[in-house]
């Protein structure tokens, strides 16, 4: 299917990229990696450019023209490699073991980029003429630090562009080897509640007279959510977009069981009312709130009878379309004030990632489904929304793109962890899928041209 030559070339590309420690958190290796990505795109026939970002540059490749514009989004930066002693092979050396490739970035996101590029080469060998659609390949160097320059960059570089589809940086292969197409991502808002009630920690005997900051934080936190996970902030659910009939139909038949998640994670305590019939709906369509951590007072060994002076609770919210993180911050402040917690300070750590969701009925999703099923030999799963998040909204808001994720991240890929890996067989299938998908796009552009 994919020739030995193409596979070897893809392996060499990945080896080159993995060898560059392009760690955006440390601002390391970014210019060098951007140049390598640029060279790879230029060799594959793209008009290329490198554009500065706040930390690392963007690489842009452009090719073709026609009635539709497709964008591919990837990133070349990676997470730091530590703890390095837990790696079984050097993190910045592509190593093969048991049918897998290991190395920092092989999955997130260099392998995704390379498999698509290899597919592109296969496609161009079959169809070397003018490309009848416009393809923009954007490779970010700051994704792992939250893409701080992305929004501005899209605004300036692609001001008048309308993009039909943004092929998102990754997609998933589930534990049964079934490819998953992601049509959306939740938004995130991360805050901290802080409370201070005294200049310094006091003797706990004074608890007879004075209030306790940790108790106040516990009460404020408890006021935000009930045992079923329902968020009690007034107005919180007002903007929530209801699933379409098609989306509801999809989630009525989950591709995996609640039992299987419980087994895989060891998580045991379900929210009140949560069960086999509701969990997949919640993962796709329900916002949620998690208490991430609590700090303050004495938490060391043994007892210390102290009345703490201050404390803090970190909380995140996963949001769904069309909840706006900034607006939710305002609702949260109102809620605290209304419930007598005016003394609790609300610190916003992140309110920049908005939720997005494309139609599961989009033609690109249908084409991708057929292509994935043909090359993976298993039914594809169309998932209306990932329960996780990504900085996808600028593509939707500024370019009008539908965000669709398909790719080769498997369940044991160890993203951001030691021994990050991809499965060779899936990598090869993804090359073939990419080639077929480019062919479908070509055909689509040509049919759209003829009235
Ligand atoms: Zn990542």
The verdict on 342 and 360 lying in the same domain is no
Distance 76 CA to ligand 1 centre (A): 10
Q: Which of 185, 129, 187 is nearest to 327 (CA)?
A: 187
The verdict on 170 and 39 lying in the same domain is yes
The domain containing residue 413 runs over which residues? 4-185+355-449
Of 353, 372, 400, at which residue does a domain stop? 353
Distance 3 CA to ligand 1 centre (A): 30
Specify the pLDDT at position 447.
87
Per the structure, the count of domains in the chain is 2
Distance 415 CA to ligand 1 centre (A): 7
The verdict on 90 and 220 lying in the same domain is no
Rg (CA), the chain: 24
* Residues 174/257, Cβ–Cβ less than 8 Å: no
Distance 144 CA to ligand 1 centre (A): 5
Distance 214 CA to ligand 1 centre (A): 34
The verdict on 312 and 401 lying in the same domain is no
Of 304, 325, 353, at which residue does a domain stop? 353
pTM of the model: 0.92
Distance 74 CA to ligand 1 centre (A): 11
Distance 170 CA to ligand 1 centre (A): 10
The verdict on 214 and 359 lying in the same domain is no
CATH number at residue 342: 3.30.70.360
Distance 20 CA to ligand 1 centre (A): 16
- Residue 181 inside a domain? The answer is yes
Residues of the chain with pLDDT under 50: 451
The verdict on 181 and 195 lying in the same domain is no
Specify the pLDDT at position 449.
58
235/239 Cα distance (integer angstroms)? 8
Q: Which of 352, 296, 289 is nearest to 324 (CA)?
A: 352
CATH number at residue 121: 3.40.630.10
pLDDT digits (tens, 9 = 90+) for 190-216: 999 999 999 999 999 999 999 999 999
The verdict on 160 and 206 lying in the same domain is no
Of 330, 353, 376, at which residue does a domain stop? 353
Distance 405 CA to ligand 1 centre (A): 14
Angle in degrees, 0-180, between the axes of helices 30-43 and 110-126, rounded to the nearest 10: 10
Specify the pLDDT at position 451.
45
Specify the pLDDT at position 264.
85
Structure tokens at 324: 């706006």
Distance 294 CA to ligand 1 centre (A): 26
348/114 Cα distance (integer angstroms)? 37
Q: How many CA atoms lie within 13 A of 267 on its CB side?
A: 10
The verdict on 209 and 139 lying in the same domain is no
- Residue 103 inside a domain? The answer is yes
pLDDT digits (tens, 9 = 90+) for 11-58: 999 999 999 999 999 999 999 999 999 999 999 999 999 999 999 999
The verdict on 342 and 366 lying in the same domain is no
Beta bridge partners of 181: 382
Distance 25 CA to ligand 1 centre (A): 12
Distance 97 CA to ligand 1 centre (A): 22
């Amino acid at each position: 299917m994919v020739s030995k030559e193409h596979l070897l070339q893809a392996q060499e590309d990945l080896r080159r990229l993995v060898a560059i420690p392009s760690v955006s958190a440390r601002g390391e290796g970014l210019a060098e990696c951007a140049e390598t990505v640029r060279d790879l795109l230029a060799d594959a026939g793209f008009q290329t450019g490198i554009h500065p970002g706040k930390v690392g540059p963007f690489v842009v490749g452009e090719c073709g023209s026609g009635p539709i514009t497709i964008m591919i989004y990837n990133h070349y930066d990676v997470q730091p490699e530590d703890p390095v002693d837990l790696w079984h092979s050097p993190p910045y050396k592509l190593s093969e073991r048991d049918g897998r490739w290991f190395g920092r970035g092989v999955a997130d996101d260099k392998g995704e980029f390379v498999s698509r590029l290899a597919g592109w080469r296969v496609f161009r060998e079959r169809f070397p003429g003018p490309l009848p659609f416009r393809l923009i390949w954007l490779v970010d160097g700051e994704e792992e630090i939250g893409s701080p320059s992305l929004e501005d960059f899209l605004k300036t570089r692609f001001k008048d562009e309308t993009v039909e589809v943004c092929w998102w940086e990754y997609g998933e292969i589930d534990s049964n080897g079934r490819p998953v197409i992601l049509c959306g991502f939740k938004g995130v808002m991360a805050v901290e509640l802080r409370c201070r009630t005294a200049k310094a920690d006091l003797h706990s005997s004074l608890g007879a007279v004075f209030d306790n900051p940790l108790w106040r934080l516990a009460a404020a936190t408890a006021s935000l959510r009930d045992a079923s996970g329902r968020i009690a902030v007034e107005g919180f659910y007002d903007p929530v977009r209801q699933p379409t009939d098609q989306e509801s139909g999809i989630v009525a038949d989950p591709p995996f069981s609640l039992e299987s998640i419980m087994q895989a994670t060891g998580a045991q305590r379900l929210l009140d009312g949560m069960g086999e019939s509701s969990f997949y709906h919640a993962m796709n369509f329900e916002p949620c709130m998690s208490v991430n951590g609590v700090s303050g007072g004495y938490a060391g060994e043994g007892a210390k009878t102290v009345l703490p002076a201050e404390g803090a609770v970190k909380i995140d919210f996963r949001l769904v379309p069309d909840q706006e993180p900034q607006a939710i911050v305002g609702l949260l402040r109102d809620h605290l004030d209304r419930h007598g917690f005016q003394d609790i300070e609300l610190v916003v750590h992140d309110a920049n990632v908005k939720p997005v969701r494309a139609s599961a009925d989009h033609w690109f999703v249908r084409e991708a489904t057929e292509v994935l099923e043909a090359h993976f030999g298993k039914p594809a799963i169309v998932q209306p929304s990932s329960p996780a998040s990504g900085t996808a909204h600028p593509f939707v808001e500024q370019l009008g793109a539908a965000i669709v994720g398909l790719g080769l991240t498997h369940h044991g890929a160890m993203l951001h962890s030691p021994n990050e890996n991809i499965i060779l067989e899936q990598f090869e299938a993804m090359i073939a899928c990419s080639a077929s998908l480019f062919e479908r796009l070509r055909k689509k552009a040509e049919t759209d041209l003829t009235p």
